Amino acid sequence: MLTIIVIALVIALFVSALIVVRRREAGPRPVVIEPGGRDSVPTMEGIVAVPAPADEPRRTPLPVILVHGLFGFDRIGVPGARFDYFRGIAKHLESLGCHAHAVNLPIAASVPVRAEKLMAAILALKHERIDLIAHSLGGLDARYAIAKLGLSKHVRSLVTIGTPHRGSPIADLMLKGPLDWPRRLVHTLGIPMDAVEWLSSQSLAKFNDEVRDVPGVRYASVVGGIRDARTSVPLALKAAHAYMRKVAGPNDGLVPISSQYWGETLADIEADHFAQVGWRFSMGNTFDALGLYAFIVARLGDAPAIAMGPGQSATTG
């Protein structure tokens, strides 16, 4: 079983950067972002959305910065093709009138190092105010930059998707369990693995005590995972998903659902860790990632509608 988990984990960590896939997929239903009443808020199958106040006017979308997770990238190219980590999402948001830009961070550096790079990338864009949408580890980078590096001056909202705010059992296994040896092996091959040390349950408990939410910044989360037995799980995530389901309950293949809540809950989605950024690696996966991000941007124009996970507060997550 441990051998299977090791193989699945390695595949999961590298698949986004190494796999070249071209599939003809049905495009998502068109979604329009526009200020105005409740009817202009995008909705789609598979998303349970938290209603926004009907009497609050929707503001014009700010520029959106997309922040990738562990072993992620902004865009990679191979002969004849180019691939985005956030697959087609920036282009889709641009077509709806929202400027979107994906940043490129060190793939597996520590959170402080990645946060510094994130800060520099955002300052270089020279936007006065932005909204951040961060996936997985990127959510921790963004929280650190906002709280510790002064990025709060430029950020109106941070939305995290599939972020392990309370750690991941897989990281626990890699640091103090039977998966420590493959982590050290990868490190000896010259691939930095510092980020893993920031993803354990113990590390995140300390992180949450020290990295506090900044007043004036809106914190929200999209919580994703596989709850329905009929939902297919990508092969690369099957073993990890099964293991975490036993020890932590429903999860997205890399992060338990219970670990993903932070601030408001904008949406609760049935989607694995890859599908959350637009990559479909399992048969029958029809999750509409483009619609999700359009939905998020529209919600960021609303006043906060508070809905937390169990045991959370609006200020501490």
Segment 65-119, tens digit of pLDDT: 999 998 766 555 455 556 789 999 999 999 999 999 999 999 888 999 999 999 9
Tokens 């994906």 correspond to 102
On the CB side of 199, CA atoms within 13 Å amount to 28
pLDDT at 174: 81
User: What is the rounded distance in angstroms from the CA atom of residue 113 to the CA atom of residue 109?
Assistant: 6
Instruction: Compute the C-alpha angle 17/233/135, nearest 5°.
Output: 45
CA distances from 164 to 80, 191, 285, 310 (A): 35, 22, 23, 16
What's the angle, vertex CA 176, arms to CA 174 and CA 180, rounded to 5?
40
How far is residue 127 CA from its own chain's centroid? Answer: 22
The sign of the dihedral angle between the CA atoms of 28, 18, 166, 90 is negative
Q: Where are the beta strands (DSSP E) in the chain?
A: 47-49, 64-67, 75-78, 81-84, 100-102, 130-135, 155-161, 218-225, 264-270
Q: Report pLDDT for 40.
A: 37
Catalogue all structural domains in the chain, each as residue range(s) with its CATH number.
2-20+42-300 (3.40.50.1820)
Contact 23, 286 (CB under 8 A): no
Percent residues over pLDDT 70 in the chain: 67
Q: Which two tokens stand for residue 291?
A: 């619609």
Q: What is the structure's pLDDT at 60?
A: 67
User: Using CA of residue 170, residue 175, residue 180, residue 183, what is the dihedral sign?
Assistant: positive
Residue corresponding to tokens 């939902």? 231
Q: What is the pLDDT of residue 280?
A: 85
Tokens of 125: 């864009």
Confidence band for 52, pLDDT divided at 50, 70 and 90: very low
CA pair distance 279, 292, nearest whole angstrom? 13
Both structure tokens of 200: 């354990």
Could you tell me which residues are beta bridge partners of residue 270?
225
What pLDDT does residue 107 have?
86
> Which of helix, strand or coil describes residue 317?
coil
Give the residue from 94, 91, 96 showing the smallest Cα distance to 75: 91
Of 140-149, 273-282, 295-304, 305-314, least confident by mean pLDDT is 305-314
* Radius of gyration of the chain from its Cα atoms, rounded to whole angstroms: 18
**Bigger pLDDT: 120 or 170?**
120
Predicted confidence band of residue 12 (pLDDT cuts 50, 70, 90): very low
Rounded distance between C-alpha atoms, residue 130 and residue 124, angstroms: 13
Distance CA 174, CA 183 (A): 6
Q: Check residue 162 and give left, alpha or beta (phi > 0: left; psi -120 to 50: alpha).
A: left
Angstrom distance (rounded) from CA 241 to CA 168 = 11
Q: How far apart are CA 69 and CA 313, in angstroms?
A: 25
Least confident of 32-46, 109-123, 160-174, 292-306: 32-46
Alpha-carbon span 220 to 252, nearest angstrom: 18
Rounded CA-CA distance 302/54 in Å is 9
